[in-house]
Amino acid sequence: MSQSPDNDHIDLLINSWNQLLPGKDFSHMELATRLLRTVTLLTKEIMPVIVNAGLNQGEFDVLATLYRNGGRLSPTTLYQRLLITSGAMTNRLATLTEKGLVQRAENPEDKRSIDVILSTEGRLLFEPLLDSYLQQLQRSLNSLEPSQQHVINQGLRPLLLALDARSEA
C-alpha cells in the first residue's frame, strides 16, 4: 500500500502488521497510534507559539489556569487542576515568579495560606499569547470541517472519561 491522499502513515503501518500477522486485530493499535501521532504533530505546530513567548508548556498551563479562574488560586488548587504533583507546581511557580508573571499573596480569607496571583506582567504576556495560540490551533485544525471537529470531540469524550476514571482509581 503506497501513501496516497487518503492513506496516512498509520495506514501504511497497520498494513505492514496485517501482512505480517494476518487475522490479528490491529484496530486498537491503529486508533491509539493515530491519536498519539496526531498529538505529536499538533504539539510540534503549537509549541513555537508558546516558546516564542519565553514559556514552556507547563508554565503556559499555569498562566492559562490562573487566567481562566480570575487570576488567583491556591497552589494546591493549581496543581490539582493541572493534574501534576505539588513538587512540579513548586518548580513552575518558582520559575514564573522569577519571570515576574505570578506573585504570591496572603489569602484574604485565611491569613495562614498563600495564593498565587497572575501579575500585571503575566496578564500582559498571556492575553496576546492566548490569541496567537488560538489562531495557531485554528490553522492547525482547519483541514477539518466544523462538523468533523464536533464528531471527533464527541467521539473522544467517552474514551477520555474512562481513561480519567482509571487514572484516579
Give the tens place of pLDDT for each residue, 128-149. 999 999 999 999 999 999 999 9
Domain regions of the chain by residue span: 1-52, 53-168
| CATH 1.10.10.10 is right for the domain spanning 53-168 | yes
pTM assigned to the model? 0.85
118: exposed, middle or buried (Cβ count in 10 Å: 0-12, 13-18, 19+)? buried
Instruction: With residue 112 as reference, give the H or E element that holds it.
Output: strand 110-118
What three-state secondary structure class fits 5?
A: coil
Q: How confident is the model at residue 167 (pLDDT cuts 50, 70, 90)?
A: confident
Predicted pLDDT at 5: 67
Do strands 102-107 and 72-73 pair parallel, antiparallel, or not at all (unpaired)?
unpaired
- Residue 63 has, within 13 A of its CA and on its CB side, a CA count of 28
CA nearest to 30, candidates 43, 13, 42: 13
pLDDT digits (tens, 9 = 90+) for 2-55: 556 688 899 999 999 999 999 999 999 999 999 999 999 999 999 999 999 999
